[in-house]
């Protein structure tokens, strides 16, 4: 078994993909956006409820590979309780980490997404939910991985 493959499909990724905790529609969402990867068909919708600038609840719906769906579940977990500005900063760090493979140690559970960097064609799987989060916070309805 390739070590890199085992890293990409490490236990947290598989667990979040198979048993997501935040896969749901928030009917009362204050901000939402849909993200598409036009090449592979992956899709993620992010739902947020806000109290002022603070994210109270976050959830997602989507279809796609284990990496994109696990990333969305990890995202929903990570951004609850954050101010929008902090959520944006976190998103930028996650996207940078997924591209570079660096900085995983300081990212807690999100660090599992750093493995995507070893698979250049899979980086967009990991980052799609995060660009969609940013679109939702910007008031845009749609985002694209491209």
Partner 1 sequence: MMDGIAHGYDVARIRQDFPILSQGVRGRPLVFLDSGASAQKPRQVMDAMRACMETAYANVHRGAYHLSELATENHEAAREAVRRFLNAARAEEIVFAGSSTNAINLVAHSFGRGVLKAGQRVLVSEMEHHANLIPWHMLRDSGLGIGMGVIRVTDAGELDLDSLRAELAKGDVGLVAVTHMSNVLGTVTPAAAIARMAHEAGARVLFDGSQAAVHRRVDVQALDADFYVFTGHKLYGPTGIGVLYAKHELLKAMPPFLGGGDMINTVTMDGFTWAEPPLRFEAGTPPIIEAQGLKAAVEYVEAIGMEAIEAHERRLVEHAMRVLPEVEGLSILGAAQDRGGVFSFALDAAHPHDLSTFLDSRGICIRAGRHCAEPLHARLGHEGGSARASFGLYTTEGEVDALAGALREARRFFA
Question: Which CB atom, from 64 or from 137, has the smaller least distance to partner 1?
Answer: 64
Question: Which CB atom, from 7 or from 96, has the smaller least distance to partner 1?
Answer: 7
Sheet holding 142-144, edge to edge: 54-63, 43-51, 31-36, 142-144
Q: How far is the CB of 84 from partner 1 (least distance, A)?
A: 30
Is beta strand 31-36 parallel, antiparallel or unpaired with respect to 142-144? Answer: parallel
Give the residues lining the site for partner 1 (CB under 8 A). Answer: 1-2, 4-5, 8-9, 39-43, 63-68, 119, 121-122, 125
Q: How far is the CB of 82 from partner 1 (least distance, A)?
A: 29
Residue with tokens 């900063």: 89
- Which tokens sit at 28? 């009362």
Q: How far is the CB of 89 from partner 1 (least distance, A)?
A: 28
Q: What is the DSSP letter of 53?
A: T
């Amino acid at each position: 078994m390739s070590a890199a493959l085992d890293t990409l499909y490490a236990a947290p990724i598989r667990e979040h993909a198979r048993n997501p905790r935040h896969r749901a529609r928030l009917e009362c969402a204050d901000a939402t956006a849909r993200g598409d990867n036009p090449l592979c068909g992956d899709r993620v919708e992010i739902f947020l409820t806000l109290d002022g600038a603070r994210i109270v609840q976050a959830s997602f719906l989507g279809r796609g590979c284990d990496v994109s769906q696990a990333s969305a579940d990890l995202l929903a977990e990570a951004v609850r309780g954050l101010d929008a500005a902090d959520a944006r900063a976190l998103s930028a760090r996650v996207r940078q980490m997924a591209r570079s493979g660096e900085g995983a140690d300081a990212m807690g559970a999100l660090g599992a997404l750093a493995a995507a960097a070893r698979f250049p064609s899979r980086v967009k799987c990991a980052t799609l939910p995060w660009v969609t989060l940013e679109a939702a916070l910007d008031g845009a309805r749609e985002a694209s991985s491209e």
